[in-house]
Structure 1
Amino acid sequence: MLTVDKRRRLAMLDERRRLMIATGALDFRQTQTLAMTADLRRAIGLLRHNNVELTSYLLREAPSNPFVELRRNGAVLSSAQGFDNSDHERPWEHLAAEPSGLVGHVAEQIGLEIRDPTQRKIAFAFLEALEPHGWLGRSVEQIASACGCDVSDANAVLALLQGFDPPGLFARSLAECLHIQARERGILDDGLRTLIANLDLLASGQITELARLAGCTEEQIHNSARALRTLDPKPGAAFATTDQPVRPPDLLLSRGAKGWVLDLNATTLPEVIIREDLVRDAQGREDFVAEALASARGLKRAIELRNANTLAVASEMVQQQSEYLKQTDAALRPLMMQDIARAVSLHESTISRITTGLTIQTPRGVIALRALLCRGIAGATNTVSVQAVQDQIRNMIANEASKKPLSDAQITAQLKDDGLSIQRRTVAKYRAAMGIPGSARRRRTHG
């Protein structure tokens, strides 16, 4: 295993040149241009797969090439004689037999409610992206791309999943989560629909404006607000004590004597072996042998490139967020994809492909690799991460006077005094995202 610093140095070559050399795709023509070969396209395409998706891909590809053999921990997963990969075509089907936790609970419903094999495959891809609190952690477009299906087909499956129990699962935002629950309970009237669409106005107590938008009385808005408070913004949280990760992490991070040590999770990723020894048994089929061997070697190089780029990008992210990973009370630093792209000399689209869907085992638990990215807010002297601002808001509310809770306007003013100029509606949004009620409700709770 290599240290994080060594991983970072591997990424400093020019991306396009590295891609083409690593895949054997450097092809100079008389016009002195570089051609995007099939091997290069495959290498770039593999960047978006997590370890389980990549394993499924390899298990589908290996039987078609007699010179490709897959091994994991020394054991052969496939050979030139072929194998039964029916289980690998549906990598999450076994979860339906596990009743405990949010994942098992949803997987059981998928097994009962979705019979079409194609729709079921898409459904389990959505399940993989389900966050512990019950919201969807990836976009529909990303899931459709990973499944190789149309966005419309993915949306159709999402509509089915959003009808599962408990209501509110697979929502893409707080508003959608509340909307689903209200609809399922049959209480989605004009007043409640208006509140859900304008949570920032509700948080700032603009009842008159909400009544105007809904075309109803202020009393009706108050009634709708009471109904809204009965909804659960985190429908998956009830399963948190028993929930298990959807799949093992793709990357493993630990502290070594010389710093962080990062590696791919070998238990989830097979090794690609080229069976050169089989060539002598294939004499008389020179054209087939040459083509098959070239394809096998290209596949192996593409996998090696995918793994190297994944480690280089993840290493840089770990290095940038080192304090957060070491200390439970530390906040994320502002870190964007373009920052990583500049540091490792890769294109931003490549960073996006690599960070989508990958998970990493850290001292803070298993998290999405993309969770190490964080937008920044410009302060008086430096840029502060959104998480740091949320932590500051949480601490203000935790230390407020119980009989005089801070309003969003007061929090905004305190942040401004600390050198952070953000709007009140942004404070309300951050507070709501953390599941903290407004000052009026906090006052009633304390009273």
Structure 2
Amino acid sequence: MARKYFGTDGIRGATNLAPMTAQMAMKVGMAAGAHFQRGDHRHRVVIGKDTRLSGYMLENAMVAGFTSVGMDVVLVGPMPTPAVAMLTQSMRADMGVMISASHNPYADNGIKLFGPDGFKLSDADEEAIEALIDREVPLAASSDIGRARRYDDARGRYIHFAKATFPDDLRLDGLKVVVDCANGAAYQVAPSALWELGAEVVAIGVDPNGKNINDGVGSTAPDTLRETVVASGAHIGIALDGDADRLIVVDEHGRIVDGDQLMATIATGWARRGRLNGGGLVATVMSNLGLERHLGEQGLGLIRTKVGDRHVLEAMRARGYNVGGEQSGHIILTDYATTGDGLVASLQVLAELVRAGAPASEVLHRFEPVPQILKNVRFAGGKPLEAASVIDCIAGAEAELAANGRLVIRPSGTEPVIRVMAEGDDAAQVEAVVNRICDAVRAAA
């Protein structure tokens, strides 16, 4: 069924333009509130946000929507997405809401919804809410209108939760850590948690002003982190994105460690201690072939899914895996969380560093990535991937790469773009293959 509002991760767009308007936020609150009022108890929703200027507008609109249909609201203010998921479950709320556009610039915003179990909504729930958005939702009687309250201890509860995931027998004493919070949702909780565990913390990206989230800082802009780590003589750098569900690491030399390397570090460490479930990990089709080969050498497997942490989580739950994620830094550890959690994942990485007693440059670079090239081809319309010339070109490329590489071609889910990715042992061959396919797509578009 085609979606009108929900994308791959909630509803997202430029603020004050459809669908990301105050009116839409109120309608979503009314529709979601009506959908999740099940049973005869007093119903409750937890609402968190990141540090975007538009968060105030959307938060107030959603409060109006939820309370108008009789649902009580708990406001936790700027908090990481995984914190909202955790609080939804621990407070026995009927649902949770995170107002955030993740790693996007401040002018964008989004609405992510969680069920009472702390997991992102199923397709069925999203479709039911979409159907209600464009209808007249019955309003509560005057005496049954919901109440809203701010919960001041949310940060403390999340810090306590995150620290509890770090091994009891380890400390971060003697470790100098630079943490980049992207001027986003974790600007208070992440430095505090690391300091309380004993680290010497250098915090950057912790001065949000409503417009500087992800602006030259965070996991999608790691240059400031790299420079700070080297200049300060830190042992490691940690970069979160705007809503702190994504993690990228920098070693002591300023070299970036992506999600593939981090997943390999965590999975192999957990396997040694007998706590890795499923005999491997779950990643997407975009994860490097080097990761797959490395895991195979360790006797571990790799399950690949479509792009998106939602697909990763679905496969993890279906197959019983407890480590999964994306090359971009979404790392899901289901022993602890129901969604990607950058802080919790970073604590597992730091635990491996402490146990090894070696520099990050030695511990975290687990394998040599094979050359990988990704190019985007924009097209005006039609279905270029169905053209015979493109199909023949792709088939030839697959035969050429054979056992020495991989080819992933997919249309974007949000814009008229074809993404062409190839990887293999021969860098020149990989680049030639990608360019050839891109040319074929352009000619057919």
Larger Rg: 1
Larger RCO of the pair (alpha carbons < 8 Å, separation 6+): 1
**Structure (1/2) with the larger strand percentage:** 2
TM-score computed with the length of structure 1 as normaliser:
0.28
**Structure (1/2) with the larger helix percentage:** 1
TM-score computed with the length of structure 2 as normaliser:
0.28
